[in-house]
Amino acid sequence: MAKKKFKGPAGQPIDPGQLQEAQSARAEVVHLRREFGGHPVKGLTPQKLAQLLAGAESGDLVSQAELAEDMEERDAHLTAELSKRRRALLSLEWDIKPPRNPTPWEEGYARELKERLLDVEIQNLMSRDIDDDPYVTSGIEDVIFDMAGAILPAYSCIEMAWNYDGQWEPQLYHRPQAWFTTPASNRNLLMLRSNFSSTVGTGDNKETLGAERLRPWGWIAHVHKSKSGYIGRAGLVRVLSWPFLYKNYSVRDLAELLEIYGLPIMIGKYPRNASSTEKSTLKA
């Protein structure tokens, strides 16, 4: 059976061989897999937070994405609210429907697509044991849950690597939001950070940055706008980061208070014939 051909958004042909390797596995971007979180919440001050948010406005999404992850891990109330919203989606029935007044071809492809999505869980569970990628997604419910992770940072991306065994089957991987950036010339264009530079835009808007475009047929990208604006400013994290910071100050102050006043009483004594130096040392 001949392999089906892939075409990009503009109708350009895509080499199927490229799709069998995840874009993030290439040498130019593989360093992302070895990165660890920067945890910007450590030592966070109003000045640092303002700089962090300003950086995200210009396309540097790394620190803002890491802050969102830190906030979700450290604020129990925030975690509970986000979890309710994400898990509520899992309780909903989903379906793939053809467009209005469908042709027989469209109806057939809608049925096939639904079957393929249901098969994703089986295919990914079968390959989980041999896959060394920690971000592997095991089925359509995991995809929905991971994509709902865009509520706080405004975006969430799942990478696809394709395997061919009679038909094309995708292997799905959720990728950290810190892997991505946006160019100043198009602030709604998510790009994968890279060690090599690429040029985007035209004319006066042309710019060069260390990132590459997401490969067609290689990604599922979900943008969740909590407020109007481009990606760097549309996330709920920008609204919640300030009350989180001030609440974090209060919690830290309480911990310091308990540490100081929770110590047992210590009584020092000196003998009657103690010298003035010995008495001063004890009082100090």
Mean pLDDT of 5-29: 77
pLDDT band per the 50, 70, 90 thresholds, residue 139: confident
**Parallel, antiparallel or unpaired: strands 180-181 and 6-7:** unpaired
What is the structure's pLDDT at 129?
A: 46
What is the structure's pLDDT at 141?
A: 86
Higher-pLDDT residue of 277, 149: 149
On average, the pLDDT of the chain sits at 85
Residue 11 lies in a domain: no
Q: How many residues does the chain have?
A: 284
- Name the phi and psi angles at 196, rounded to 5: -110, 150
Instruction: Find the domain containing 224 and state its range.
Output: 17-283
In 3-state terms, the chain is what percent helix, strand and coil (to 5)? 45, 15, 40
Residue 3 lies in a domain: no
Contacts of residue 120, Cβ cutoff 8 Å, sequence gap at least 6: 139, 140, 143, 169, 170, 172
Contacts of residue 209, Cβ cutoff 8 Å, sequence gap at least 6: 59, 181, 183, 191, 197, 198, 200
Residue 103 CA: distances (Å) to CA of 6, 81, 99, 109: 22, 43, 9, 10
Residue 110 lies in a domain: yes
What is the structure's pLDDT at 264?
A: 72
Q: What percent of the chain has pLDDT over 70?
A: 89
Residue 12 lies in a domain: no
C-alpha angle 116/119/120, rounded to 5°?
Answer: 90
Higher-pLDDT residue of 20, 4: 20
Mean pLDDT of 214-222: 92
What is the structure's pLDDT at 116?
A: 81
Residue 5 lies in a domain: no
pLDDT tens-digit readout, 72-85:
999 999 999 999 99
Q: What percent of the chain has pLDDT over 90?
A: 44
Residue 1 in contact with residue 166, Cβ under 8 Å? yes
Is residue 154's pLDDT more than 60? yes
Residue 251 in contact with residue 242, Cβ under 8 Å? no
Is residue 236's pLDDT more than 90? yes
Higher-pLDDT residue of 23, 202: 23
Is residue 268's pLDDT more than 60? yes
Please state the domain count of the chain. Answer: 1
Mean pLDDT of 98-115: 91
Is residue 130's pLDDT more than 70? no
Residue 1 lies in a domain: no
Residue 154 in contact with residue 234, Cβ under 8 Å? yes
- Exposure of 26 by Cβ count < 10 A (0-12 exposed, 13-18 middle, 19+ buried)? middle
Q: Longest C-alpha distance within the chain, in Å?
A: 106
Is residue 66's pLDDT more than 60? yes
* Interatomic CA distance for residues 49 and 40, integer angstroms: 9
Mean pLDDT of 149-164: 92
What is the structure's pLDDT at 281?
A: 83
Residue 10 lies in a domain: no
Quote the distance between the C-alpha of residue 280 and its chain's center: 58
What is the structure's pLDDT at 124?
A: 55
How many other C-beta atoms lie within 10 A of the C-beta of residue 195? 13
Question: What pTM was estimated for this model as a whole?
Answer: 0.79
* Interatomic CA distance for residues 66 and 224, integer angstroms: 17
Residue 8 lies in a domain: no
